[in-house]
Structure 1
């Protein structure tokens, strides 16, 4: 079982690249431990900025560094980064087109028992609504590493959301022949299509196997690139099936499900069912306990896929 969380994969890539690239700068809001970035701060103190619990300053300082030619990666809990510093993300990063990568750590319900104040169930919708802001939810450590490497090579603003805990490996070192802004096809299907992002990709993959046992052919897209949404791959896969099921660790409004429904509805109408967290305060518990409670697991996703086929 993998013991390396996605946040550590980001740190590992940044540390390796920072040996040669002195323009890489990491910033934290009193969150270096939570972000697994303490080793970077220790190894490259001249390329690390601690702003304290001041998320707005974190984003604005990052934007200023980007305008000076630096490559800033700013890490803070997703629940705070996507709300407290929303205006700075909109104006200083997106509107000003600065080369800032915002890293929302402990995303979704990762903080568990700390409850709704520390859950980030709105960040996909919020960040995706900002013009010129890209939104990524990598599904495992290998994909996270490839995404981080790719973001080091471009100069556009982006928001990455990663969870707190290790997730089971989906890929290997090649990350499924990773291509920037292209969804990864994890399974081809002719009955139902599953579209998932972030930590929901693993249970969706489990659902594919459970459905196969019942003679149901399920396709699966790892839509880590929530924005820009890979509509080409989505429509190509949706055209082959009778129903589509989206799965996300997010509120039911404005996230992956809404984007997929809009794209499928306008290009190849199919029944689309969205699996997400409820439009209500989420129960407290570990990520696994919360997922199981709301049916965001292999069994729950498979059951929703069967429901979608009956409605198609």
Structure 2
């Protein structure tokens, strides 16, 4: 009997390529942390650094292969500095879930530093960040798309696509965002199709935007406009001829519209919604929670601690 032993040069090359790609996670994670720390100049920025540390450590834990905080921050002195300065992410990353992906924190930091009104500057900074050759190739921890939403008042609200890589991490972060971070209308729309792109027969939380709301996505690396995908048409009633369908909640439109809804109560009042009973929504939330339990275990969400004000 002949045995097909896949242990020759081709297998070794595949394993080498796999490890090289996976090591990008560790390299990229450290570069993101390094950049966020360099930008940190006030309490708001400090919260974002704390949050990005936790989000990266959590994703490192569930990555294949997994990476510990010590492997991501391999320098002993630097590791001690981060653990002393931002202790909470190190303590709870293994069992508390991030509410969003790490690149959302990068986006928030850039908006915080540059001002929400400076749309082109923000997009240019995101593009420069993502196109940094030190980050290498691959999808780990980076978003491909940014979305900008606004109404007649002109105030901009930004969002990026999911910066988790792989089916399981993406589903975990989408579920966490639905249950703990996104505006309830965005969460309701996404839960209508979570987790398998199949519409819930007993719950329809999809919405249609008022005509005066602009919601435009762009490819971060080039700045080119992107039409909404089929998923975003289904969720938010956006107009497009695109038939590509991503995981519902993966796209930048979800985060951008969530930020708009949180800050514009008039828009919330004028959304076109389906008639949804509270009981049906609760059942949908329970269904998302059950799926999250299957993926990970008991969902407990992370909130960065408020910085302690030093006495003068």
Q: Same fold by TM (over 0.5)?
A: no
If each structure's helix is expressed as a fraction of its own residues, which one has the higher value?
2
TM-score normalised by length of structure 1: 0.29
Q: Answer 1 or 2: higher relative contact order, Cα 8 Å, separation at least 6.
A: 2
If each structure's strand is expressed as a fraction of its own residues, which one has the higher value?
1
TM-score normalised by length of structure 2: 0.29
Determine which structure has more spread, i.e. the larger CA radius of gyration. Answer: 2
